Amino acid sequence: MKEKDCEKCGKKMIECYADQGLKGILVKNPQGETLFKNKKHTRINPYVCVNCGYVEWYARNPKDLI
């Protein structure tokens, strides 16, 4: 499990997954090809602070959107 420090309270944040049956949400560049052939995409995952509940979203491979 990946962890980072919370910007709000300084406590531990853990990497989580959005509940869609997949590990994260797929984000696509609108300049890519058609919906099912678009290769310009990356997954985003939330980090959740176990103390205050603050949430940050991070792209796994942001350069894949270019």
Closest CA to 56 of 16, 18, 48, 22: 48
Residue spans of the domains in the chain: they are 3-65
When the pLDDT of each residue in the chain is averaged and rounded to a whole number, the result is 79
Whether the model pTM is above 0.85: no
Count of positions (residues) in the chain: 66
Predicted pLDDT at 44:
81
More confident residue, 17 or 34: 17
Task: Give the Cα separation of 40 and 63 in Å (integer).
Answer: 9
